[in-house]
Chains A and B, each alone.
Chain A
Amino acid sequence: MIPRSLLIAVAALLLLVVSMGIYLRHMRRRAAEVESPAADALPVAPPVTGPTEAVTLHVADDAAGILRDQAAQIPLSGGRQQRAEELLRALLRIYQQPGARHPMAPAADIRAIYLVDPGAAVIDLNAAFADQHRSGILSEQLTVNSLVETLALNVPGIERVTILVEGKMRDTLAGHADLSDPFDVSAIKRTGNQ
């Protein structure tokens, strides 16, 4: 015969386990709710107020396989580096619009741009930019050309551009475009309008 006190203790423990499970599930759901909006967030749009400057962006067109010039306004920045980041974020916003001719994932972003004298620039993309990029030679090369040419056109003195992903070297953007070496700006300019 099992003692009555033991039965009560086991029942109490079981009740405790079940209630802890329910509480754990509740906490995980709350945590997921907090995280999900951040993951899907688009890059923050620039402030509409304040001084802006007109720039020209080289925007990729997948169907035509070319870059097209497109005028845009970016916030007037004090620093050269900050201005470069605003430039590429403006470019990225075009690609993230519904119906874009060179669509990119909403989570894609530019982490930072480093301008290293003499003539070198480093573009640091976030992981989503590369991981969710369309795979294909044309699409990936248009992205590279668009970033490099836009930067070189608007930030004088850049001769070569290195592209990193999450601060690290990466073999390819999405399986094709080689990111393991710096890009020669003059070579891209020569071939960009083929």
Chain B
Amino acid sequence: MLSTTNKILIKKVLATVLASLVLLSAAPFANPTDSGKRISVYSPVAVYSLPVLDHAGREYVGLLELLEPLGRVSSQFEGQRWKLRFNAIDAEFAAGKTRGRIRGHDVDFTAPFLVEDGRGLVPLSTLPSLLPRFLGAPVNFHESARRLFIGEVAIQPSFRLDAANPQLTLSFNAPVNPMIATEPGQLRMVFKRDPVVSPGSQSISFDNKIITHATYSENNGDAELDVTASQPLTASFSSDRKTITISAATIFAAQAASATAGGDGNGKSIGTGTAAGFQNQAQSPPAASNAPTIVHRPLVVVDPAHGGEERGAALTDSLAEKDVTLGFARLLRHELELRGFAVNLLRDADTTLTLDQRANAANVAHAVIYISLHADSLGSGARVYTTLLPVEGPSNGMFHPWNAAQAPALALSREVAAAIALQLQKKEYPSHAFSASLRPLNNVLSPAVAVELAPGGNGIEDLTSASYQQRAAAAIADAVASVRDRLEGQSGDRVIGSSGHLKSKAFDFRSPDHPITRLSDPTMVNR
């Protein structure tokens, strides 16, 4: 027989073992943590990045979020099972299991499927085998750098060195839009949204005393090309941003003195501010070898209408306007960036924004144009709107009624709307320009338009079709690019100084010295 002391000891041991087992079994289901890591996804229809979550030494990503920009996706829980539908493909997963089913076939994971806050998380290492079953397209995953290429989207650079000048020409098979920074003896190009891949070798040496070598690297969803030289470097874009020419700053300055570069996307000088700045802003050629060079990329604010609790129109029983506008906005962002614009998406998730918040965000962003995106099941093609201004209250000196802030920019807004309608017609979208009493268009200081996407020949399904949205986005971006000069010079209030920084005239309402102000009564905007 066991003594009382032994019995107590055995009980304590058993309790400890039991507690350890409970903790160990719960470990795989503990909340994954946001690691600050990102995965970049490049596909023909969308380029985007998503947060990566660390869990038990594995990296995970939300499957719904991953598929959302690529097609129509929905999910629901049935008991312990997480069911997902992507376009017409059904899949089923269970939390903690390493096996799921897609199109009725089993698929094995390298780590357990996780569910967190109603989101299904899959291990990154599973993506190459998982995604082709949904997408029917080849997937190439650079796992260490977390860069996912869907279909044939990769852009491979080629190098050509003109030793006499010397000048290094980088050619790409599609337009690119890197962030460029110079440091003494080095020019760095970071490709955040371009599917640029290795030129074949991680390091390329040049038989040249000035431009010595280039290196390629990938990390945390980005690709980076570094060119090393013995002198400060400068870069310029040409061929619709398919070519980047890198040369010594002194040589560039000499060339610039004899020939003026010009044209949209052609011959724009690029360079950098500080290494930390990474801002591409317009700029004149560098006067001194170490002076920062900046190129101007006009800013477009794209606003996917509705969001969060505000669903917008119910396009079908299960499809809300807010979801269509978000996907459409992401595509438009990509198209605008390809054409050399910087884009500020007012929401990049299912979040709620008030109309005043949207207007304020557009106004403080100093955008050259604000584009609000809507969707409707009524009619066909697309409709473009400018604001129908309400009865305007009295102006008070330099202050203007908040509800008529758009008034001075309205003529240019109508020009842009006409250009967008024309480009949409060219791409076979029945399209017209209208006026509508639509907020926040009338509160926006810069030219402002709204585009309402309607179904095409395939009915309501078109609204969720990536290719249908893609063509419309390209048409809008083409139109904005066609009036770029008008938008940039809209009020003549932006002056590019010799230092390349923005300067403002005395009464520039965009000046930081004259912040846009909304007063309580009456609501006025400081111009």
Contact = CB atoms under 8 A, between A and B. Distances in A.
A194 B439 contact: no
A184 B314 CA distance: 30
A172 B390 CA distance: 14
Given A63-B379, A65-B379, A136 B452 contact: yes
B383 interface: yes
B436 interface: yes
Contacts of A85: none
A5 interface: no
Considering the complex of A and B, which 10 residue pairs feature the smallest CB-CB distances, nearest first? Answer: A181-B390, A135-B313, A191-B435, A136-B376, A141-B436, A178-B437, A178-B439, A182-B391, A184-B391, A160-B391
Nearest to B377: A136
Given A65-B383, A138-B376, A188-B388, 11 more contacts: A62-B378, A134-B313, A137-B436, A137-B438, A138-B383, A172-B439, A176-B436, A178-B442, A181-B391, A184-B390, A187-B389
Contact of A177 (B321, B433, B436): B436
Interface residues of B, number: 30
Nearest to B430: A65
Contacts of A135: 312-314, 321
B438 A181 contact: no
B432 interface: yes
B339 interface: no
Contacts of A171: 355, 439
Interface of A: 62-63, 65, 134-139, 141, 144, 160, 171-172, 175-184, 187-188, 191, 194
17 contacts: A63-B379, A65-B379, A134-B313, A136-B377, A137-B438, A141-B388, A141-B437, A176-B438, A177-B436, A177-B438, A178-B390, A178-B437, A178-B439, A184-B391, A187-B389, A188-B388, A191-B388
A54 to B, nearest CB: 30
Contacts of A177: 436-438
Contacts of A184: 389-391
B90 interface: no
A160 B393 CA distance: 13
B40 to A, nearest CB: 34
B376 A194 contact: no
B123 to A, nearest CB: 40
Nearest to B354: A171
Contacts of A191: 388, 434-435
A7 B378 CA distance: 68
A147 B385 CA distance: 20
A175 B313 contact: yes
Interface string B22-55: 0000000000000000000000000000000000
Interface in B302-342: 306, 310, 312-314, 321
Interface string B361-397: 0000000000000101111000101001111000000
